């Protein structure tokens, strides 16, 4: 019974907190690699709680250097937990499933880390890194810089 109470307490700690739940749209760019800078966009649903849980669907445009395709157009789904650092800053960690692999992201399953700044209630600025942590081959990793807008 004590183990159950401990799990219940931990669950309540994760669920309580911030009141926001709703949609976010983000757009931005990725790092320049071999002279190419991709565009990126994502639509996310944010679940309310002390630590916001974010489920996203998004895409990253291709990079092509001459006849060599460095990274194809990539669609991804991700799950992220945002952990508040200060009132307006947060760190996020999660997982990503992508439909394509390349020199930049060398496997279809990867990890993601995010640093974010809440400009105000509607606007957020994020830096996101996606990488497989070299678990399945070496990869450059993808850095994405996005401006996100929250709407109800």
List the chain domain ranges.
2-151
Residue that has been written with the tokens 């992508």 in this structure:
98
* Beta-carbon count within 10 A of 17 CB: 13
The pTM of this model reads 0.81
pLDDT at 19: 55
What is the three-class DSSP state of 15? helix
Cα–Cα distance between 123 and 25 in angstroms, integer?
Answer: 10
Closest CA to 140 of 89, 101, 90: 101
| pLDDT tens over the chain, length 152 residues | 565 555 444 444 444 445 578 999 999 999 998 888 999 999 999 998 889 999 999 999 988 777 777 788 899 999 999 999 988 999 999 999 999 887 788 788 999 999 999 999 999 999 999 998 777 667 788 999 999 999 97
The CATH fold of domain 2-151 = Porin (2.40.160)
């Amino acid at each position: 019974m004590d183990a159950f109470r401990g799990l219940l307490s931990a669950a309540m700690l994760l669920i309580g907190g911030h009141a926001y739940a709703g949609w976010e749209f983000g757009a931005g760019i990725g790092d320049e690699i071999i002279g190419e800078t991709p565009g990126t966009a994502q639509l996310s649903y944010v679940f309310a709680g002390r630590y916001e849980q974010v489920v996203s669907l998004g895409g990253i445009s291709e990079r092509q250097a001459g006849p060599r395709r460095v990274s194809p157009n990539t669609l991804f789904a991700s799950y992220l937990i945002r952990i508040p650092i200060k009132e307006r800053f947060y760190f996020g960690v999660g997982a990503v499933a992508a439909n394509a692999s390349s020199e930049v992201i060398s496997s279809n399953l990867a990890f993601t880390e995010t640093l974010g700044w809440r400009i105000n209630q509607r606007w957020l600025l994020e830096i996101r890194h996606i990488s497989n942590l070299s678990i399945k081959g070496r990869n450059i990793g993808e850095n994405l810089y996005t401006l996100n807008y929250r709407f109800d």
